[in-house]
Structure 1
Amino acid sequence: MKKIGARKVGLFVGLLFLFSGAAWAQDIKIGVIQPLSGPMALLGKYSLEVSEVARLEVNSKGGILGKKVEFITVDAPDAKAAAAAAEKLCTVDKVKIIMGTYSSSLSYAATNVADKYGVVYWELGAISDDITARGFKYVFRTCPAASTYSYTAIQCMAEYLAPKMGKKPDQIKLGVVYEDSLFGTTQAKFGFEAAKKAGIIVVADIPYNAKSTDLTPVILRLKSAKPDFLLYPGYFTDQVLFIRQSKELGFDYKIALTTGGSGLKDFGKALGDDSEGVGLIGFTSMDVNPKFAKGVKEFAALHVKLLGREADGPYPLMNYMGTKVLFQAIQKGGAVEPEAVRKGALSIDIPHEGTETGGGVKFDPKTGQNQRAITPVAQWQNQQMPTVWPEKAAIAKMIFPLPTWAERKKK
């Protein structure tokens, strides 16, 4: 796939800022909060871009309720800025709908403000279960929650990987290693719960600080525990370091199912051949069976047409789908008023394999969580991330069990 240049992304997002504030009075105005500066800016910009693709697409087809859709975009590099952005959109711009936000910490802060004003908050990419657990009436999330990631990983281990080893789940040893912020600890917590239900034995529970520059103590503890499988939520730099030092220390495992930074193209570039076989639990990859993820080919073509490059990684597909579902909720509700949008959202009933991600859409009326959001398993293979499980979504066979580091060296 083509490389996404930060300079080109910045230029496109700059144009969005220029035009997103120029909404006509009769247009449908939607507030958008994304981290467009700071450490989360790259993926925040990607998220905004793909929502813009959906906006341009719907406007080219006549808009919604006969009106054009316009975005009022606000940068939020941190939680404090996200709360301030939501306050501005609710009180100054007086929008009835806000869309965001990529980061769970940003979304958690912004949804508090939106709830105070009775404004719809439509979450596309922040996964913390806490966002929807509060039961805010007008918060809806189209992407999977963090718990889904962990449940999927354990399900794959128990139902697919263990049988391939000729073992039952209660004969499998699992190591759980995770960065110690809300992101990692939440997924680890649900991983422990799912493993217990499946009967999988947890032999290592090891949190660490993502800013660590040496993970040798973590890896040596894991090496001593001798797990078959790893469940590993982390960020980019720490996950790259973990793989490098695992190789140096000769720590072998049959599979590592990861979430977080490992889903970025730069992960493969940083590790080269050492990324081979790393499993990814997350949003649906662009490299998925099109019979499973209906519309993925059309989206890929539209992305190239409007942005001049191929979509990269799992974030574009999820954000595009989620933005389209918001537009559908407005259309079904017949108005942009929060109660109408809520009514429209709750009426949506898309079965599994009915969207570009391969999942469906059905919102829980108590939490606003999409109960049909899915997290397929992809795997690094030859610097690509093809989907490998479930089998009906797969376009490649999973590399399993992974060869040892010594065996890789001989090749």
Structure 2
Amino acid sequence: MSYLTRRFLLASLSTSLIAGRARAAAPQAQPPAPAVTGVVLPLSGDLSLIGDECLRGIHLAAGAVNAAGGIAGKEVALVAADAVDQSHVAAAVNGVIGGGHAGVVLGTGASALSYPGSAAAELAQVPYIELNAPADGLTARGFKFLLRTGPTTSMIGGLAVGAIQSRFAGRKIGLLFNTGATGGAIAAGVIAALGNAKIPVLLAIGYPEDVTDLYDPVGRFMRAGVELVLHAGGPADVLGFYLAMQEQGWRPGAVIGCGNGYMLRETADALGAAFDGTLVIGAPFYPAAAAPIAQAYQAKYGTPPRGADSLTAYVGAKLVFDTLNAQGGSADKLLDVLRKVDIPAGGLANGFGVAFDASGQNTRSFVTLQRWRGSQLTPV
């Protein structure tokens, strides 16, 4: 073998060894991390109980997904921010998107918070999934990045009419409502539905969000001879209403509560026997199909579920997590995929199905008529 031939072979071998070492040292390509999910809820302030109940449902959904392998093989990544009131919501949304790098945002526990929260996400062009704020107007703004998985105030109004027609036909009706975004929207939905059904309202009374003393409205209902009161209000409003009735020694033949304050076990515990028999229109409160979720709730938090908001948030959040997983963790096409999801009624743990209309509303969500008995809320 000639000197030149040996030199060529040695050079080739050296080049091959260097290339092999370089390949061995090069890091293996990793798949992109699943999209971070931002969570914006009122975790302090007047709505903190509702916000915390929603957050518990989201955490339970994340736990269920993680137990099944996570999203694209990794645990659900959550970053939460406190939307204490309307003035803080946009900053909270921008914070989870900018600082938290969220590719999708879940929210928000109340309609008053959802309006600015979803607007901030729309400006950032990031998907915003409203889990349980019911105001009809949320999905009437032509937003491209907003979907709502939970029910609407029109659904509440429709069921109120059905309940009155089937159970309270001919009764003198009083409507009491908080004029905030949720209570006002519920009242508008109820009034519209009653008007379409040609059912008269004897007396309608609205009150500002910061009013909790409802002595005067109760006195007006009593003097007018109201036999059925529909009340749309939060937790403090419900307590104020029942205390005012107790102080005046009056109660109508029936009360139908239509706000989130009527769905909380804390409200029933605080009012005791006075709350028994109160009817409620709202999202399903842990039906039999959701028993495993209620058990997981009890195991994690050491108490039974406090309200339907945790279950409503659970099914919406899990729908998002499962869809992200099917997309390999990417949020890029999340809204397009969700808009095509077709799950019949009863397909989700609380009885919801999934079918989004052009406005972004899940038309297979619904509300039910329920009744409190001994701190237990059961279907009617």
Report the residue type matching 1:55 in the other structure: A
Report the residue type matching 2:158 in the other structure: Y
Report the residue type matching 1:269 in the other structure: D
Unaligned regions of 5+ residues in structure 1, if any? 1-23, 163-168, 389-411
Aligned mate of 2:343, from 347, 350, 372: 350
> Which residue in 2 is equivalent to 1:37?
44
Superposition TM-score, scaled by structure 1 size: 0.79
For residues 11-410 of structure 1, the aligned pairs below 5 Å read 26-158=33-165, 160-162=166-168, 169=169, 171-212=170-211, 214-260=213-259, 261-286=261-286, 288=287, 290=288, 294=289, 296-333=290-327, 336-338=330-332, 340-364=333-357, 366-388=358-380
Query: Do 2:54 and 2:310's aligned partners in 1 also have CA atoms closer than 8 Å?
Result: yes
Cα 1:304–1:273, aligned 2, differ >3 Å: closer, same or farther? Answer: closer
Query: Do 1:333 and 1:343's aligned partners in 2 also have CA atoms closer than 8 Å?
Result: no
Once residues 138 and 214 of structure 1 are traced to their aligned partners in structure 2, the CA distance between those partners, rounded to angstroms, is 39
Partner of 2:102, secondary structure, is coil
Compute the displacement of 1:322 (Å).
0.9
Query: Do 1:330 and 1:344's aligned partners in 2 also have CA atoms closer than 8 Å?
Result: no
Moved more, 197-206 or 247-256: 247-256
Query: Do 1:329 and 1:348's aligned partners in 2 also have CA atoms closer than 8 Å?
Result: no
Moved more, 355-364 or 62-71: 62-71
Cα 1:99–1:149, aligned 2, differ >3 Å: closer, same or farther? Answer: same
Cα 1:333–1:368, aligned 2, differ >3 Å: closer, same or farther? Answer: farther
Once residues 319 and 43 of structure 1 are traced to their aligned partners in structure 2, the CA distance between those partners, rounded to angstroms, is 11
The root-mean-square deviation of aligned C-alpha atoms, in Å, is 2.1
Report the residue type matching 2:143 in the other structure: F
Partner of 1:175, secondary structure, is strand
Unaligned regions of 5+ residues in structure 2, if any? 1-30
Query: Do 1:177 and 1:206's aligned partners in 2 also have CA atoms closer than 8 Å?
Result: yes
Query: Do 2:157 and 2:189's aligned partners in 1 also have CA atoms closer than 8 Å?
Result: yes
Query: Do 2:35 and 2:331's aligned partners in 1 also have CA atoms closer than 8 Å?
Result: no
Superposition TM-score, scaled by structure 2 size: 0.85
Partner of 1:386, secondary structure, is strand
Partner of 1:377, secondary structure, is strand
> Which residue in 2 is equivalent to 1:19?
none
Partner of 2:230, secondary structure, is strand
> Which residue in 1 is equivalent to 2:15?
none
Once residues 154 and 320 of structure 1 are traced to their aligned partners in structure 2, the CA distance between those partners, rounded to angstroms, is 28
Partner of 2:377, secondary structure, is coil
Partner of 1:42, secondary structure, is helix
> Which residue in 1 is equivalent to 2:10?
none
Q: Cα deviation per residue 1:302-360 (whole Å; 9 max; x = unaligned)?
A: 2233334322221111111111111233244555234x111221121122222222221
Moved more, 50-59 or 65-74: 65-74
The answer to which structure, 1 or 2, has the higher relative contact order (CA under 8 A, 6+ apart) is 2
Compute the displacement of 1:176 (Å).
0.9
Compute the displacement of 1:254 (Å).
2.5
Compute the displacement of 1:79 (Å).
2.1
Partner of 1:149, secondary structure, is helix
Query: Do 1:97 and 1:336's aligned partners in 2 also have CA atoms closer than 8 Å?
Result: no
Partner of 1:64, secondary structure, is coil
Aligned residues between the structures: 349
Identity %: 30
Q: Cα deviation per residue 1:72-115 (whole Å; 9 max; x = unaligned)?
A: 11222122321012222333333221111112222211111111
Once residues 339 and 368 of structure 2 are traced to their aligned partners in structure 1, the CA distance between those partners, rounded to angstroms, is 25
